[in-house]
Each structure stands twice: as structure tokens, then as C-alpha cells.
Amino acid sequence: MKTPTPTPKLPSETFCILPWVHLSTRPDGSMRVCCTANASSVGPTNDKQHGGMVGILKTDEGKPANLNVSDFQSSWNSTYMRNVRKQMLNGEQPPSCIKCYKEEAAGHNSKRMWETAYWMERTDLNQLVADTAEDGSVPPKLNYIDLRFGTKCQLACVMCSPHDSSGWIKDWQAIHPKIENPTLKQTTLWANKGSTNGSSYNWHKNNPVFWQQFYEQIPNMQQLYFAGGESLIIEEHYEILEECIRQGHAKNLELRYNSNGVEWRDDLFDLWKQFKLVRFHYSVDSIEEMNDYIRYPSKWERTAEVFHILDTQTPSNTEVTVACAVQALNIYYIPDFIKWKLEQGFKKINMWPFGAGGVNYHFVYHPPHLNVKVLPVWFKDECRKKYEEFYPWWESNWEKGIPEWHKGKVTYEQWRNASYGISRLEGMLKFMESEDWSVRLPEMKEFLDLCDAQRGNSFAETFPEMKEIFNV
């Protein structure tokens, strides 16, 4: 009998594997350590400690490393990346990574934790560390790239902005000049329309250096991650799939998506069949008119239709999960979303072990006035009460999230102790309760009032349980 290989011990308590295997792009061509180490504020105010270009790779001159004027081959071992690696090996917390450390301190399962666990099964951690030079440089082999080709998108989600969605431009032009709160004005600024320091939403166009380096890395690649804008309507996404198939690499590649699922090319599912695995994270944040409000101007009828298409028509190599952006507008209603999802009788979507059969979550940090920590204490208490009332129902119906091929193989105890089930919800609540950002409530109110006036929506009618949160 073969002895199981022991799980390698992490080099330090602050270690994350991503700086050794991964680079992430922004829609404007900026590069970053990962999508969580981004330029968002993670504090109650727009102070320089928490805000600014945190997580964006810098050149030695201190300017953002952008694919229009730099390249990811040299950025891979830039001073910035080398310092991040050295800090992690020394047990320090790089400023880029403060989001994950804050989430973990509140009992939440962070991206650092689940990505490290995921990639430790697919790479040799001990070898990665051994190959790290004293100055923090590592061999130029990328296993995993997060690609965001511009901002082309059909939606203008309330927590998004023109930085990530072309669908927001018209509303931003109407709303931003009317903002009176100076902090909100600063938070929602779209400076230089995405063209600072050589950045451009068309960075991927006419960029032969990028495309040459990218395709040179394909033999090393284990995973490609596409996000937006909206990747399923961006032409270059399909070109990459076709080229990977043509070169014979598709069978070794996993694809990951965050997508609104509004529309896609007719041959998408046929292309997916050629790849090793496809993980499709369907971006839905609530149910019915609440989701339509958040993910404006989506229509629930189409959203629900796509749920069933993804469940029944995607190839057998495709895993589908719900990617829910947890924010001030929906955290109270997450139990309703989970209940709806479980009652649909899906065969594929978020079936065990993903989300323990519920849905998957990540926090909204930007804009900070929609972060869950903004909510007043009394409403946070109402959220906790609702979750505690929901837990017995989910415990009684836990098998609704277990697929047929796992029936009889998963015990209630395994489900109940799963890190992505009820314990994940508890981590969300604890994260929400860990800090008081209610100083931003006036920003949230002004922002939603302006959005409602522009879009013909009503916050109070859509979220009636929340309409009193601004009465402070």
C-alpha cells in the first residue's frame, strides 16, 4: 500500500502561494499580485494607509507596472514582487495582502487560504520555496494568470464603476457631477478615464510583446482565469481558447470564469469540451428584484433562465458555482438566496462540496460605502438574528445540496463542519461585526439616492427591511 504524501508545512503563517504561481491583470492593463490585492480601500475612510494603489505592481520608479508600457515577464521578478515574496517567507504581512489577513482575523476563509490549499495540490511547494533566490526572484514559469481584457460589459452593477464596466459610463457621467459629499466624490472618481501611467482599456489590442510572452507561457499553465468587464462578449477570450486548442494545450488547461452570464457565443460550450476542466462562477447577488437592483439592468427572468441552462446544457467537464458579491445591500438576504437555490433542484450548480451546497461568496470592498461594515450596529444584529433563524432550516435540508453521486457518501457531520457552509456564514457575520464603518452611511445614502434618480429604481421599495438604516 502506497504511503500518502504528507501535506507540506507552510513556510510561515503569512505565506500565500499566489506570488509564486500567479499574476493578475486589471482591465486597464495594470498588473497586481492577485485580484484581492487591488487598489481598493479596506478602511473606514479614504486614507492613504488603506487606499491608493495597494496591490498594483510598481516599476522601480514607483509607477504602476502596466502591460502597455511594461511586460509581465519582467514584472514577474520586479522589485515589488520580490519584496512580497521575501516578506511572506519572513512571516510579515505585505500591505498588498491586508484584505485576506483582516478577513482571517474575523474568522473568514480568505482567498489566501483557499488558493494556497488549491495550488498546494497542484504544485510542489517545497520546490517552489527552494527555487526562490535570496532576493525573492523565482523562475519565470506562471501556472495561473487572471486576464481582464478591458471593460466591455452589458451591466452597470451598483457596486461597480467605469473602471471595470463600460456599462457604467453613461450613469457615471450623469451622477458624478451631482455628488456633494467630498469623500464620496473622491471614492467614485474616474481619473483620466483609465489612461493614467500608460494604462488603457485597449491594452490587449496591438500588443505583440504581451501576446508573444503569453503564448510562451501556455505550456507552463495549469489555469486561465477570465473576468471582466464581461469575458464572454470579449473577442480575445475566444481567440485564446481557439489557439490553446490549436496548439494542443487545451487538454492540460483548467478554465475559470467570473461572468454575468447574460450572453455568449453559440459555440462556447463546444470549445469548453476541449479543455481539462471548466469552473464557471456565475455572478448573481440575490434573487428577483433585489438582484436586478444590484446587477442593474439585469432581468431576473433571464438570470433564472441562465441558471437552468448552466445546470443542464454545459458539458460534463464543467463545474458551475454561484459567485455572490457580499455587500451592504444583500448580506441580510443571503439566507433567502441559499433557500431559493436549494429549492430549485439543481443537479450541478454549487453541489457539494462547493459552498457546502449553498452558494460561494466574496466581499465587496470598493466602493467602501457598500462594504458590509458600513451597516449600523442595530441592523447587523438583525442580520445575525435572521441567519440564526435560518440555520435550522438549512440543517434540516442539507441533503438538497448533495448531488446524486455523493448521496450516502457525505454525512451530516461532514456537511455541518464544512468550511464553506454555516461556518462560512458565521465568518461573514463576524467580519461584518469586526469594525464599524457607519461613518460612511451618509455616502451610501447619497450614492443610492443618485443611482435611484438616474435609473428609476427605489432602494426603500426593493429592500424594505433596510429602509430605516439611514435614520441615524
* pLDDT, tens digit (0-9, with 9 covering 90-100), for 15-34: 999 999 999 999 999 888 89
Residues pairing with 280 in the sheet: 257, 320
Q: What number is the average pLDDT over the span 415-427?
A: 92
Q: What number is the average pLDDT over the span 441-451?
A: 98
Sheet with 318-326, strands from edge to edge, namely: 31-32, 22-25, 144-147, 223-226, 254-259, 277-283, 318-326, 360-363
Which range, 34-43, 227-236, 381-390, 404-413, is most confident? 381-390
Instruction: At 312, list the grid cell.
Output: 443542464
Alpha carbon 68 to chain centroid distance?
A: 24
Residues pairing with 223 in the sheet: 144, 254
Per-residue pLDDT tens for 191-217? 877 666 667 899 999 899 999 999 999
Cα–Cα distance measured from residue 345 to residue 372, given in angstroms and rounded to the nearest whole number: 30
Instruction: At 316, list the grid cell.
Output: 460534463
pLDDT of residue 38: 63
pLDDT of residue 6: 46
The rounded mean pLDDT for the chain is: 91
pLDDT > 70: percent of the chain:
94
Backbone angles phi, psi at 374, to 5 degrees: -70, -30
Question: What is the band of 95 on the pLDDT scale with cuts at 50, 70, 90?
Answer: confident
pLDDT of residue 48: 54
Count Cβ atoms below 10 Å from residue 129 Cβ, excluding itself: 17
Q: What number is the average pLDDT over the span 446-451?
A: 98
- Is residue 2 predicted with pLDDT exceeding 60? no
pLDDT of residue 71: 83
Q: What number is the average pLDDT over the span 281-303?
A: 98
Range of lowest pLDDT (65-74, 115-124, 230-239, 256-265): 65-74
- Which spans in 314-468 are helix H? 334-343, 377-396, 412-416, 422-433, 441-455, 459-462
The residue count of the chain comes to 472
Task: Identify the CA nearest to 251 among candidates 272, 237, 225.
Answer: 272
Question: What is the band of 5 on the pLDDT scale with cuts at 50, 70, 90?
Answer: very low
